[in-house]
Structure 1
Amino acid sequence: MARAPRAPRAARVRRVSRVPRALRSPWLWIGVLSAVVVGMLAVGGVFVSHWANAVTARPPGVGTEFIAPTLSKAQRALDSDLTPEQQEAAEYLAAQPSTYWITPEQDPIGQAGATVGALAKQARSEGKALSVAVYGLPGRDCGNHSAGGLEPDDYKTWVAEIGAALDNARDVQKIVVLEPDSLALAPECGNLDERVTQLRGAVAALQSVDTWIYLDGGHSSWLAPERMAQLISAVDVADSVRGFATNVSNFQSLTDEFAYAHAVASHLDGMHAVIDTSRNGTASAGAEWCNPAGQTVGETAGEYGDDVVDTNLWIKPPGESDGPCNGGPAAGKWWPEGAVALTAAAR
């Protein structure tokens, strides 16, 4: 590549006028500089804080430690009437680093921010990262087992509250899995345009220092990588999110999901991924997604990653039902028998 031409040498140096004696004192300039710094801190304190945190912000990776939320349903189950085996399973799962799901049913408007604040407080005290899934879109799950969500205006209010709480925890590393199934399910539901608009608004509301957002990325037994990449691209927020999350609430193998994440990312310049390994220890469910029998917990969070996959996470908390199928209760409810089955080989 050709070098840029060198600037021509000046023909002669112009004489600089002499500085008045009153302005030569170093103490004068120290005072001026101090006043400028104080003024910047007073007027631009928020900017300085953001800049300082931006310097230290780091994406999740292999070795990142995540909290085991004290607000988890596994933890809450310990106070219920359980058999010894169910108690052992709940204790095991309550101790595992996992993602907390913020839903309007559990954490409505007026409470969601306080929940994020409590989780951030725990992460701060333990010196660990925080992982949350935001799950409250209007018409969520297209009326299937996880149906629900908020009205459009309420959804904007809700995510704004969550975003403000995330922004108040700038000293905590935060991972946000945004609306699982929202994109992969959109073609089937016929609401892609609506979803794209909603997700763009949510991303804008949730952005903060050291907050890493991952959109829905489906999984390896669902949509083709090219199609999944098209859906992610449609949201058009590549500069605002870290990437996408795969295998959320599913059971596909870690090997298949790594290959899938790489295939999807090859169509998305610079995007990264996280993989849900909470229930893929056996990975024999195939296309069955609703409480399939014979499955086990997978690799714990922060164990695997590469240049595309930031790391693996426990996104779907094991022990929470997929829905009223195969003996399980309603979606999201604690299922003691399911927890026992999933952890039989791990306890």
Structure 2
Amino acid sequence: MYGSNTGHTRRGRRAAARAGAVGVLLLLAVSGCSSSDEAPKKESAPASRQPAQQQPKARSPFWVNPDGTAAKEAARLRRSGKEGDAELLQKIASQPVAEWVGIDDPEGQTRGFTEAAVKADRDALLVLYNIPHRDCGQYSQGGASDGDAYRAWLDRAVRGIGDRPATVILEPDALPHMEDGCTPQEHHEERFALLKEAVGKLKALPRTKVYLDAGNPSWVTPVDRMAEPLRRAGIERADGFALNVSNFQTTEDSKDYGHRLSRLVGGKHFVIDTSRNGNGPLSGGDHEKAWCNPSGRALGEPPTTRTGDRQVDAYLWVKRPGESDGACKGGPDAGQWWETYALELARNSR
């Protein structure tokens, strides 16, 4: 893809999401009441698995999944005596990261994640990423077969969320890919309609916040080019827009872009993906090298709602650190766990 790679193939994300949701449902079945400082966990979890402690709610109200990939991999490394590497992965495992809702059983997934979050007195952070003609046939290609299939999938995801609190990042890249010409013109009208419907259905839920993806500061420029796509996709009803999903642009550059875009869309608030922007973007080289598993990157600021900026609702880890952007630089398929890259991100972070 061009400006930002979400790093989730249809095949890789389907398996990961199904496994994650099943794990969550099992956790709900076997765990008793938990305090607000600890997420539900399997009673039979191995001793080498560190319990997932939730971050202080006032700083970060989002749920830390005790059964996430980073937590599992850290436990595996600990069992094999690699304590140093395990501690590095714990930097990822200890933070709330978004759950990407897969193709299979969206209702079960969203219900499992939101119920587990409520049990820990936290909010679920979800990504809905199934728009038809997704990613222009590139690394993260796939999505629903057509508009009706998407509507049916969305309705199931909405039912699963129900009245539980959730923050939803809606369809990364869907709008920027229309504006940059990657998505063919014949798909534009349907996509705008689907996104607007999705915003409406999600905002009809009592405790759901919705942020439409708006790319990143290096992608669609000048910034005014993103205003009309957001308006056509229903930004007036959404809580705001999301920036830097799966990319590496600095928080300051994202804030500057976001403030300018906000003024064009009625003062809407925004969130920033800080999962891998600790060292900013890779400079020089060709475009793909800058977004597909670039070397030397670092974890960014941990997720928080204390941004010090009234327009910025949160810094979030939307991209799951340690998952590949695509089959480049020796990495696995998009969305697959890549331990080498995860360790580098953690090692380079402050």
Q: TM-score, normalised by structure 2?
A: 0.74
Distance in 1 between residues matched to 2:127 and 2:108, nearest whole Å: 15
Change (3 A) 1:217 1:338: same
- Following the alignment from structure 1 to structure 2, what is the Cα–Cα distance between the partners of residues 327 and 205? 40
SS at match of 1:214: strand
**Structure 1 residue 313 displacement after superposition:** 0.6
Tell me how far apart the structure 1 counterparts of residues 235 and 295 of structure 2 sit (CA, whole Å).
38
Q: CA deviation at 1:122?
A: 2.2
Residue 153 of structure 2 is aligned to residue 158 of structure 1: yes
Question: CA offsets, 1:54-80, max 9 Å, x none?
Answer: xxxxxxx98342111234332343566
Q: Secondary structure at the match of 2:291?
A: coil
User: Partner residue of 2:59?
Assistant: 63
Q: Does 1:273 align with 2:270?
A: yes
Aligned twin of 2:325: 322
Q: How many residues align?
A: 278
Write the letter of the residue equivalent to 1:227: R
Per-residue deviation, 1:308: 1.6
State the shift of 1:307 in Å: 2.4
Q: 1:138 to 1:344 in 2, by over 3 A?
A: same
Greater mean alpha carbon deviation, residues 249-258 or residues 223-232: 223-232
Contact 1:62 1:311 in 2 (8 A): no
Question: Structure 2 residue aligned with 1:335, among 329, 338, 346?
Answer: 338
CA contact (8 A) 1:62 1:304 kept: no
Q: Is this contact kept in 1: 2:325–2:335, CA < 8 A? A: yes
Unaligned stretches of 5+ residues in structure 1: 1-60
Deviation at 1:114, TM superposition (A): 1.7
- Number of the residue aligned with 1:88: 87
Contact 2:163 2:206 in 1 (8 A): no
Equivalence for 1:122: 116
| Per-residue Cα deviation, 1:288-312 (whole angstroms, up to 9, x for no partner) | 1110000000001114142221121
2:211 aligns to what SS in structure 1?
strand
2:302 alignment partner in structure 1: 300
Superposed CA deviations along residues 270-300 of structure 1, whole A, max 9, x for unmatched, are 3110000000000032451110000000001
Displacement after TM superposition at 1:129 (Å) = 1.9
Larger Rg: 1
Shift in CA distance, 83/342, structure 1 to aligned 2, threshold 3 Å: farther
Instruction: Give distance in 2, aligned partners of 1:305 and 1:227.
Output: 27
Moved over 6 A (4+): none
- Separation in structure 2 between the aligned mates of residue 163 and residue 203 of structure 1, nearest angstrom: 11
- Pairing 1:146–2:140 present: yes
Q: Is 1:199–2:202 an aligned residue pair?
A: no
Partner of 1:186: 178
| RMSD of equivalent CA atoms | 2.1
Q: Secondary structure at the match of 2:321?
A: coil
Question: Which amino acid letter does the alignment assign opposite residue 337 of structure 1?
Answer: T
CA distance in 2, matches of 1:83, 1:201: 51
Q: How many Å separate the matches in 2 of 1:312 and 1:330?
A: 27
The answer (yes or no) to whether the contact 2:64–2:97 under 8 Å persists in 1 is yes
SS in 1 for 2:303: coil
Structure 2 unaligned blocks of 5 or more: 1-56
Equivalent pair of 2:278/2:349 in contact (CA under 8 Å): no
CA 1:299–1:273: 2 relative to 1, 3 Å: same
**Aligned AA (2:330):** G
Superposition TM-score, scaled by structure 1 size: 0.75
The alpha-carbon distance between structure 1 residues 206 and 125, as it changes in their structure 2 partners (threshold 3 A), is same
Deviation by residue 1:95-146 (Cα, 9 ceiling, x = unmatched): 2111111121xxx1xx222222221222212222221111111111010100
- In the TM superposition, residue 192 of structure 1 has moved relative to its aligned partner by 2.5
User: Displacement of 1:201 after TM fit?
Assistant: 2.2
| Alignment partner, residue 249 of structure 1 | 246
CA distance in 1, matches of 2:264, 2:158: 29
